[in-house]
């Protein structure tokens, strides 16, 4: 078989492939694995009940099932859904959107494949443009998405020690030069993997930097406001004409309907919609149909505020307590301030082995985590910190998390004893 450079880039064993393989096997329940890897949202009973009732309603409602299953949408999505989404965001945040500012993608993962390749790679003048992620560590899912090699750049975060046992990353503006080959800035907010939420000040500064260079500022809002709103600190949602805001239905508890929602200028949305037509004709409608009435009557925001956010806030609190109980005072560790998303980010500054080796040892003990090194791509220099972190999802069963925390602590103590 003679394959291409494209095949070499996209068929190799990437971090995201390993992560999704681990996740699929663990969620299929085929092992005893304690699942702290992957980004699967929790199964929240009230939310699952809502999707069940809504599915029943679709079945009973005249032609709604046939209209959902038996028609292609436009490459932008379902017009009525796009209008309703624009209306919801305008009402909630005072933005001035129309349906033409919104496009649906096959999950937000696909949205990023399109965006990162619209703004990185060779331009018509032959210059290699790059997308800049100003705060590294950043979401593993972007790392291998650029078609062209060397098209993503990142800058190491500044580490701020906030209180005993905790820290928070910040954008190192002193070392953030936006050279002329940077085609866009991109951040996830809340950040996967760390649970960081960029401050309003950081967001305004990045936005101004992007505007001054006439490039887009992409904000990945997969966990943010107004839905699913897995946010535990004050953070003002942000949009402007040069901003591309990415949202998703996945973390509402609907990862399998693969529905991403992009908000941007009409020019951007037209570009994404043209790509959708070439790649997929149109995207699946089921997610849009399921949540459409909840977008119209505002229930999407109510369930996010009243059910989803408190659910994860409670899980985060008990997960932190479990870590503190298990690690006590003899293991040097810090947790990133848990400000949103589904993860604790554990920093082991004196770990004598790499985080990947620790991941492998923990997997043998039926604890699945994600090695932090995957999230440090695109750096210009080696950084020890990149081998000292683990991402721990707290979305699944709290008792499993607690057991896993004690196994992790036990394994780390053994490693420290073997390497005094
Ligand atoms: C920050 C972030 N962006 C995008 C995605 C992609 O999500 P989806 O394609 O399910 O919308 C994820 C998934 O975990 C994520 O964590």
Show me where the domains of the chain are located: 13-47+303-418, 74-298
CATH architecture for the domain at 13-47+303-418: Alpha-Beta Complex (3.90)
For a pocket test of ligand 1, which of 15, 40, 108, 345 has the largest count of ligand atoms closer than 8 A to its C-beta? 108
Give the burial class of 250: count Cβ atoms within 10 A of its Cβ; 0-12 exposed, 13-18 middle, 19 or more buried.
Answer: buried
Q: What is the distance in A from the centroid of ligand 1 to the CA of 273?
A: 19
Q: What is the pLDDT of residue 139?
A: 96
Pocket of ligand 1 contains residue 192 by CB under 6 Å: yes
- Cβ(229)–Cβ(308) below 8 Å: yes
Give, using CA atoms, the residue closest to atom 14 of ligand 1. Answer: 39
pLDDT in tens, the chain (420 residues): 888 988 888 888 888 888 778 777 777 765 688 999 888 999 999 999 999 999 999 999 989 999 999 999 999 999 999 999 999 999 999 999 999 999 999 999 999 999 999 999 999 999 999 999 999 999 999 999 999 999 999 999 999 999 999 999 999 999 999 999 999 999 999 999 999 999 999 999 999 999 999 999 999 999 999 999 999 999 999 999 999 999 999 999 999 999 999 999 999 999 999 999 999 999 999 999 999 999 999 999 999 999 999 999 999 999 999 999 999 889 999 999 999 999 999 999 999 999 999 999 999 999 999 999 999 999 989 999 999 999 999 999 999 999 999 999 999 999 999 987
Pocket of ligand 1 contains residue 255 by CB under 6 Å: yes
Q: What is the distance in A from the centroid of ligand 1 to the CA of 164?
A: 31
Q: What is the pLDDT of residue 180?
A: 96
Pocket of ligand 1 contains residue 300 by CB under 6 Å: no
Q: What is the pLDDT of residue 92?
A: 96
For a pocket test of ligand 1, which of 139, 224, 246, 345 has the largest count of ligand atoms closer than 8 A to its C-beta? 139
Pocket of ligand 1 contains residue 196 by CB under 6 Å: no
R_g of the chain, CA atoms, integer Å: 21
**Residue 4 corresponds to which tokens in the numbers above?**
């291409």
Q: No. of H helices and E strands in the chain? A: 13, 16
Q: What is the distance in A from the centroid of ligand 1 to the CA of 222?
A: 6
Q: What is the pLDDT of residue 17?
A: 84
Pocket of ligand 1 contains residue 191 by CB under 6 Å: no
The DSSP-derived string for 126-186 is S-EEEEEEEEES--GGGTT--SSTT-EEEEEPEEEEEETTEEEEE--GGG----TTEEEEE
CA distance 282 to 276: 6
Q: What is the distance in A from the centroid of ligand 1 to the CA of 161?
A: 28
Pairing of the two strands 367-368 and 152-156: unpaired
CA–chain centroid gap for 96, Å, is 26
- Whole-model pTM: value is 0.96
Q: What is the pLDDT of residue 420?
A: 74
The CATH class given to the 74-298 domain equals alpha beta
Show Cβ contacts of residue 198 under 8 Å, excluding neighbours closer than 6 positions. Answer: 135, 171, 187, 189, 191, 206, 235
Pocket of ligand 1 contains residue 139 by CB under 6 Å: yes
Q: What is the distance in A from the centroid of ligand 1 to the CA of 78?
A: 21
């Amino acid at each position: 078989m003679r394959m291409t450079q494209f095949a070499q880039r996209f068929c190799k064993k990437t971090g995201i492939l390993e992560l999704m393989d681990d996740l699929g096997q663990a969620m299929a329940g085929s092992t005893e694995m304690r699942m702290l890897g992957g980004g699967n949202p929790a199964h929240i009973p009230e939310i699952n009940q809502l999707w069940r009732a809504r599915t029943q309603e679709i079945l009973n409602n005249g032609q709604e099932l046939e209209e959902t299953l038996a028609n292609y949408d436009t490459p932008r999505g379902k017009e009525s859904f796009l209008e309703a989404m624009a209306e919801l965001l305008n009402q909630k945040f005072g933005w001035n959107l129309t349906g033409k500012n919104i496009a649906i993608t096959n999950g937000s993962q696909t949205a990023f494949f399109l965006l990162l390749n619209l703004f990185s790679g060779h331009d018509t003048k032959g210059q290699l443009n790059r997308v800049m992620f100003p705060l590294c560590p950043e979401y593993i899912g972007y790392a291998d998405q650029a078609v062209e090699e060397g098209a993503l750049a990142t800058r190491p975060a500044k580490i701020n020690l906030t209180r005993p046992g905790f820290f928070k990353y910040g954008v190192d503006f002193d070392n953030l030069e936006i050279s002329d080959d940077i085609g866009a800035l991109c951040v996830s907010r809340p950040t996967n993997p760390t649970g960081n939420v960029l401050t309003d000040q950081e967001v305004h500064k990045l936005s101004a930097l992007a505007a001054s260079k006439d490039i887009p500022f992409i904000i990945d809002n997969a966990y943010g406001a107004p839905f699913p709103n897995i946010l535990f600190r004050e953070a003002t949602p942000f949009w402007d004409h040069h901003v591309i805001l990415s949202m998703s239905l996945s973390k509402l508890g609907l990862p399998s309907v693969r529905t991403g929602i992009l908000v941007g200028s009409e020019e951007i949305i037209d570009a994404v919609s043209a790509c959708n037509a070439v790649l997929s004709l149109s995207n699946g409608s089921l997610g849009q149909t399921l949540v459409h009435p909840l977008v119209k009557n505002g229930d999407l925001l109510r369930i996010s505020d009243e059910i989803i956010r408190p659910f994860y806030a409670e899980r985060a609190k008990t997960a932190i307590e479990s870590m503190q109980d298990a690690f006590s005072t003899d293991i040097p560790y810090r947790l990133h301030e848990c400000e949103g998303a589904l993860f604790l980010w554990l920093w082991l500054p004196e770990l004598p082995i790499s985080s990947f080796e620790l991941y492998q040892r923990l997997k043998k003990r039926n604890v699945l985590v994600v090695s932090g090194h995957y999230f440090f791509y695109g750096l210009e220099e080696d950084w020890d910190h990149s081998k000292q972190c683990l991402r721990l999802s707290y979305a699944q069963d709290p008792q499993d998390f607690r057991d896993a925390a004690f196994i992790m602590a036990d394994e780390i103590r053994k490693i420290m004893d073997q390497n005094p």
